[in-house]
Chains A and B, each alone.
Chain A
């Protein structure tokens, strides 16, 4: 029930009554809600080399191959052979399509220098030729490649104008879907000769601009009568499989969210992230030069290949050999995975092509083989050569589209970006990432050490702890940092500190032992002393007793003596104190 409501709402937004002819161009059908207006005329305007012809041909070829709609190409610019040759590199075999009766190519060369107009004329032959070709292949689609050349060639533009207008009406009556291409005019005019006036239904403008030596192709649906359509400028690519338009938020944020966790290849990092990355999520690693971003990415692909999964590594700064060598030095040998066909490494400086081409190749790599994990190393070099003011929009949109591509295919990705922590461009990119790891160099005591933080991790209770990121000869290891009174210590400072602490403990232990021994000795001494004192005390008490005893004997003796004496003298009783009264 909910589905029905949703569907009808979507249909309503896109114009329920308007039938569309799908272009088969990925992205364009999305923007236009299904394709070009069926049975009507669409103008594709753009400058020289903007890709108008290719877009038209793509429309025809897709029609013939995928939708069972044969088509007619009428070109006024090149010979049929040349057109066929030009598009062969895009995988369009026009000859084959013509042989199988799905396509008719009519090429006209209009040379104003050999033509003079004298009096009235009409384009009946053009109609007759088209009519014949349409009948012959049963065409549902017609592309008129730059019919504008008829202006000027016939002298009398008034007649040309009215004849073209008649042609459009005639084609619409036949119910064929038409693409007209037109050269971009000066100023605000869409086309040089104003042929947009015949086209009331759909106008698409292509733009090929070069900004800071990097070319980008853009497509915009200027007008689409009776249909909702994306109004932004969308980048489009011309690749080996034809034209692709990349709506920036193509995937409409409807990625599947997996509950599965996959390992980053670094056990302690998995632990910090609550058990690993979610499958299909995007991990961004940012940090200054030499903080170990590539190594982290290499761990990720190594782990994927070890699980038997396909992995892709896109290197924007280094060559594959360089990375293979460097990773071997930290104990990660990726070469066997490359040889086993599990790991593909693509290295390209993005400045070697335009950004769009770069993206196109990337998209092909992604589509060629289903990788479970992709690492894009050194994304910031996409902005090489672009003035910093333009870096954000251009590069960020490329990165966003890359992430979109990866996510729409459920590929778990690691993107490494050089950057000083939380600067603007990194922040803008990080909003597209699910997990953001920051690697930071900490400089102290004449050395640099790497610290790793988890800045964010969507849907995960992640560790808030800083870890020291150590590159060993057996890969990356995360080590607890030392947090002490002196702040965070890492590297040799951590080691020194730990050693110092051990020394201190030892010292205290020794001190205590010494003290114990001292006290022990003292106790023994004092106990001995105590015995001696007791002995003395005993002796003295004995002495006292003896003295007391002797004293009693002495008094008795004296008393006895005195009584003896008194008796002898007949002495009276003696008063007290013995004094005579």
Chain B
């Protein structure tokens, strides 16, 4: 579960309008309902907006607690957007789709181009 895996074949449409790759890490612990929900919610959102342009690495912190310390992860589930910069973190089961999109700044529009 901790190995990176590509969610699709990388040939999907460029819905974000930039063509850049999205590198996401989802930190979870075990298979708690919260975490399972988060995995599902994240995949759904990515498929919708970033088909073919994203990778999601799922890290189980119970298996690898040092990774939490190294990556500064205190809460689960946490999604970290490693690319494109800057790093963004979204904590929670991602049940609120709109807030997830805002948090990851996943849905990019010209007005949202410039990250803070």
Give the segment of A113-121, A188-196, A335-343 that binds chain B: A113-121
Contact B116 A113 (CB under 8 A): yes
Contact of A124 among B38, B76, B87, B100 (CB under 8 A): B76
**Which residues of chain A come closer than 8 Å to B73, judged between CB atoms?**
125
Residues 105-143 of A, flagged 1 when their CB comes within 8 A of B and 0 if not, give 010111001111111111111101101110000000000
For the complex, count residues of A whose C-beta is within 8 A of B. Answer: 28
Main secondary structure of the interface of A (DSSP, over half): mixed
Contact B61 A125 (CB under 8 A): yes
Q: Is A151 an interface residue (CB 8 A)?
A: no
Bound-state CA distance A175–B75 (Å) is 23
**Which residues of chain B come closer than 8 Å to A224, judged between CB atoms?**
none
For the complex, count residues of B whose C-beta is within 8 A of A. Answer: 36
B63 to chain A, nearest CB (A): 9
Contact A123 B74 (CB under 8 A): yes
Closest A residue, CB atoms, query B101: A118
Q: Is B34 an interface residue (CB 8 A)?
A: yes
User: Which residues from 133 to 170 on chain A have a C-beta closer than 8 Å to any C-beta of chain B?
Assistant: 133, 150, 154-156, 163
Q: Is B44 an interface residue (CB 8 A)?
A: no
Give the segment of B7-15, B49-57, B91-99 that binds chain A: B91-99
Bound-state CA distance A156–B99 (Å) is 14
For this complex, 18 residue pairs linking A to B, each with C-beta atoms less than 8 Å apart, are A114-B88, A115-B90, A115-B91, A118-B100, A119-B37, A119-B38, A119-B94, A119-B95, A121-B34, A121-B75, A121-B78, A122-B75, A125-B61, A125-B74, A128-B68, A129-B74, A132-B66, A133-B69
List residues of A whose CB falls within 8 A of some B CB.
106, 108-110, 113-126, 128-129, 131-133, 150, 154-156, 163
Which of A113, A124, A129 is the most central at the interface, judged by chain B CB atoms within 10 Å of its CB? A124
Q: Is B111 an interface residue (CB 8 A)?
A: no
Closest A residue, CB atoms, query B104: A116
Q: Would you list the 10 A-B pairs with minimal beta carbon distance, nearest first?
A: A116-B103, A119-B92, A119-B93, A119-B95, A125-B68, A128-B65, A124-B29, A118-B92, A132-B65, A118-B99
Contact B74 A108 (CB under 8 A): yes
Closest A residue, CB atoms, query B75: A121
**Which residues of chain A come closer than 8 Å to B88, judged between CB atoms?**
114-116
**Which residues of chain A come closer than 8 Å to B92, judged between CB atoms?**
117-121, 156
Bound-state CA distance A113–B115 (Å) is 12
Bound-state CA distance A120–B37 (Å) is 10
**Which residues of chain B come closer than 8 Å to A122, judged between CB atoms?**
29, 32, 34, 75-76
**Which residues of chain B come closer than 8 Å to A123, judged between CB atoms?**
74-75
A494 to chain B, nearest CB (A): 83
**Which residues of chain A come closer than 8 Å to B29, judged between CB atoms?**
122, 124-125, 128
List residues of B whose CB falls within 8 A of some A CB.
27, 29, 32, 34, 37-38, 41, 61-62, 65-66, 68-69, 72-78, 86-96, 99-100, 102-103, 116
Bound-state CA distance A48–B38 (Å) is 38
**Which residues of chain A come closer than 8 Å to B100, judged between CB atoms?**
118
**Which residues of chain B come closer than 8 Å to A110, judged between CB atoms?**
74
Closest A residue, CB atoms, query B74: A126
Contact of B65 among A117, A121, A131, A154 (CB under 8 A): A131
B12 to chain A, nearest CB (A): 24
**Given A117-B90, A119-B37, A129-B74, 9 other A-B contacts at CB below 8 A?**
A114-B86, A116-B88, A119-B34, A120-B34, A122-B34, A125-B27, A126-B75, A132-B69, A150-B74
Contact B61 A118 (CB under 8 A): no
**Which residues of chain B come closer than 8 Å to A150, judged between CB atoms?**
74
B81 to chain A, nearest CB (A): 10
**Which residues of chain B come closer than 8 Å to A155, judged between CB atoms?**
91
Contact B90 A118 (CB under 8 A): yes
Contact A128 B62 (CB under 8 A): yes
Contact of A128 among B32, B61, B78, B95 (CB under 8 A): B61
Contact of B62 among A106, A124, A156 (CB under 8 A): A124
**Which residues of chain A come closer than 8 Å to B41, judged between CB atoms?**
119
Contact B34 A116 (CB under 8 A): no
A262 to chain B, nearest CB (A): 61
Bound-state CA distance A114–B76 (Å) is 16
Closest B residue, CB atoms, query A147: B74
A190 to chain B, nearest CB (A): 24
Beyond A116-B88, A116-B89, A118-B94, whether A125 also contacts B34 by CB under 8 A is no
**Which residues of chain A come closer than 8 Å to B86, judged between CB atoms?**
114
Bound-state CA distance A131–B72 (Å) is 15
Closest A residue, CB atoms, query B92: A119
Bound-state CA distance A126–B86 (Å) is 24
Contact A116 B90 (CB under 8 A): yes
Bound-state CA distance A277–B32 (Å) is 77
B55 to chain A, nearest CB (A): 20
**Which residues of chain B come closer than 8 Å to A132, judged between CB atoms?**
65-66, 69
